[in-house]
Amino acid sequence: QSALTQPASVSGSPGQSITISCTGTSSDVGSYNYVSWFQQHPDKAPKLMIYEVSNRPSGVSNRFSGSKSGNTASLTISGLQAEDEADYYCTSYKSSSTPFVFGTGTKVTVL
């Protein structure tokens, strides 16, 4: 169960935009429009931020957006705020017997 590849860390100043990449293979990210993104603050449970590549659940700020090209998905946070400082994980559907593969995680730091 190989993990999807994310950068270990991304940083930005308040108000800036940052983008986190999530690279998989033609067997997961490249095959399905079922990429999700989770935000996790320290010692807290993950929170769904984006599903099905670019959809936001109710209550999630429109500063969060998602996209996909080929085997790579991306999460963009615009108008970066201090509260966005957290770990972010992508996940993709892979198969019926191994439904979810997670990314390696990215620590976002607000400078």
Partner 1 sequence: EVQLVESGGGLVQPGGSLRLSCAASGFTFSDHYMDWVRQAPGKGLEWVGRIRNRADSYTTDYAASVKGRFTVSRDDSKNSLYLQMNSLRTEDTAVYYCVRDSGTYYLDYWGQGTLVTVSS
Contact between 2 and partner 1 by CB under 8 A: the answer reads no
Q: What is the DSSP letter of 27?
A: T
Q: What is the DSSP letter of 96?
A: S
CB of 14 to partner 1, least distance (A): 27
Contact between 107 and partner 1 by CB under 8 A: the answer reads no
Binding-site member from 38, 39, 49, 86 for partner 1 (CB under 8 A): 38
- Looking at the chain, which runs of residues are DSSP E strands? 9-12, 18-23, 35-40, 47-50, 64-69, 72-77, 86-93, 100-102, 106-110
Contacts with partner 1, residue ranges (CB under 8 A): 1, 3, 32, 34, 36, 38, 44-48, 51-52, 57, 89, 91, 93, 96-105
